[in-house]
Structure 1
Amino acid sequence: MRAHLARVDAVIVQAVIAGALSFSHLHDLASAAGQGGWKAWAYPVSVDLLLVAAWRRMRQSQRVGQAAGGPRLWFLVALAASLGANIATAGLLDLDHVPASLRVIVAGWPAVAFFGGTLLAHAPHTPEAPAAPAASTPDTEPHPAPAAVDTSDRDALPAPSTDPAPATEVAAEPAATPPPASAPAPAPAVALPPALVDRVRALADEHRSTTGSPADPDAVRARLGLPPSMTASVAAHL
């Protein structure tokens, strides 16, 4: 743990020293190029911020598999500005007599930095990480459904071999249903419930007292809501 902290502290110290030196060189170059006061201090901040912003956006684009050409270009531009200032202040350039071309470059840097920062801030950033789970979900769904259910059903159907039997039973049922229609012919032997017998006789007496003629068994059966096969049974009790 202490060794890890020592390595982290060393990296931070090194970064602070390098940043301070680069910051000072950029300030000195901007001041020598005619940018005095707070302007000379703003130039190193602009260069370092563009460098860090381009590096972060380049890493984000590479992490999600996108092209990082734009962020890499602005990273190289900011790195060239920082390295150029460090080399220029190493004694290779007379800071008391800065060439006009360098003054133009320093004066035009704010527009370049603003343009690069705007492009980095508004660059489209669409992470493609959620696409992988979405593609894997449909793949997992089809596997359990067809495999488990279909095999169990297909194994269960041939074993009992009951497919031909229902066909014969269904075919036999239509043949078995017509006989009951003719079966009620000898139905006088079928006894009606006592309550129904009383109801049949009451209707027959009512008809006789109203019309003076015996009641028709089929009419009495219809009034009771009985099937036509019960006509003979109703007539047996009139």
Structure 2
Amino acid sequence: MRAQLARVDAVIVQAVIAGALSFSHLHDLAAAAGQDGWKAWAYPVSVDLLLVAAWRRMRQQQRVGVAAGGPRLWFLVALAASLGANIATAGLLDLEDVPAWLRVTVAGWPAVAFFGGTLLAHAPAVPEAPEVPASPTTDTDPTPRPAAGAVDRADRVAQSAPSDEPEPDPEPTTEPAAAPAPVTASTVTLPPALIDRARALADEHRSTTGHPADPDAVRVRLGLPPSMTPSVAAHL
């Protein structure tokens, strides 16, 4: 944490130093071009504000995938003005005898900056990034599912139950299928998934033992409450 704060402090100090030097160079160039008094101090403020505004607008549009050609153009214009002032005051230009074209450029900068700032301020609003829809949860599934733990416990109890004597072999004669229990008014309708599961368990019991499955035992394996036994029996 301390190392991260030290890096942030170093970046802030470097930014303040660079900004102060650029600010001073712009002021000196504006003063040498005939803009004296408070006007010379307003030029660096204008350049830096246009630079920051263009950068922020460019980043906002790039974040949502919108073309940022306009903000990028004004960012380059402000950056060229700042770099030009830094280079001009490095001894390559005689500040006592500024050429006419530079005086015209400095005098015309307020109109350019006003035009660029107006375009950036009145640009269409940047749309917000689309939110990623949340993945559907199992709570919206209308089909109830029995608890996995209850089904596993029922399976283990059925498998581990000791048998005192071996079960007799099934008779070769085919037993008549049990008539399905009539669905009464109090019987709760089971979802199709549970009906299929209950019938699969009943068929498995019949193929293994040769006897019809007990609805109560099927209900236990499904993990349903005792009150659901009539509903299970109605579909076997």
Q: CA deviation at 1:155?
A: 6.9
SS at match of 2:72: helix
Higher helix fraction (1 or 2): 1
Q: CA deviation at 1:62?
A: 1.2
- Number of the residue aligned with 1:65: 65
CA–CA distance in structure 1, aligned partners of residues 142 and 8 of structure 2: 56
Listed as ranges, the matches of 1:60-209 within 5 Å are 60-129=60-129, 131-133=130-132, 136=133, 140=136, 152-153=191-192, 156=195
Contact 1:50 1:74 in 2 (8 A): yes
CA–CA distance in structure 2, aligned partners of residues 54 and 116 of structure 1: 9
> Is 2:50 the partner of 1:50?
yes
Task: Work out which of the two has the higher radius of gyration on C-alpha atoms and give 1 or 2.
Answer: 1
SS at match of 1:74: helix
CA–CA distance in structure 1, aligned partners of residues 143 and 121 of structure 2: 50
For these two proteins, the number of residue pairs brought into alignment is: 158
Closer, same or farther: CA 153–46 of 1 in aligned 2, 3 Å:
same
CA–CA distance in structure 2, aligned partners of residues 4 and 140 of structure 1: 39
CA–CA distance in structure 2, aligned partners of residues 13 and 99 of structure 1: 35
Contact 2:54 2:75 in 1 (8 A): yes
Q: CA deviation at 1:132?
A: 3.5
Q: RMSD of the TM alignment (CA)?
A: 2.8
Query: Deviation per CA, 1:24-46, whole angstroms, max 9, x where unpaired?
Result: 10001000111000000000000
SS at match of 1:97: coil
Contact 1:28 1:89 in 2 (8 A): yes
- Number of the residue aligned with 1:23: 23
Unaligned runs of 5+ in 1: 163-238
* Greater relative CO (CA pairs within 8 A, separation 6+): 2
Q: CA deviation at 1:146?
A: 8.4
SS at match of 2:25: helix
- Number of the residue aligned with 1:170: none
Q: CA deviation at 1:2?
A: 2.2
TM-score (norm 1): 0.58
Unaligned runs of 5+ in 2: 146-189, 200-231
CA–CA distance in structure 2, aligned partners of residues 147 and 108 of structure 1: 73
TM-score (norm 2): 0.58
Q: Percent identity?
A: 77
CA–CA distance in structure 2, aligned partners of residues 69 and 146 of structure 1: 50
Closer, same or farther: CA 132–12 of 1 in aligned 2, 3 Å:
closer
SS at match of 1:132: coil
Contact 2:27 2:43 in 1 (8 A): yes
- Residue type of the partner of 1:132? E
- Residue type of the partner of 1:103? R
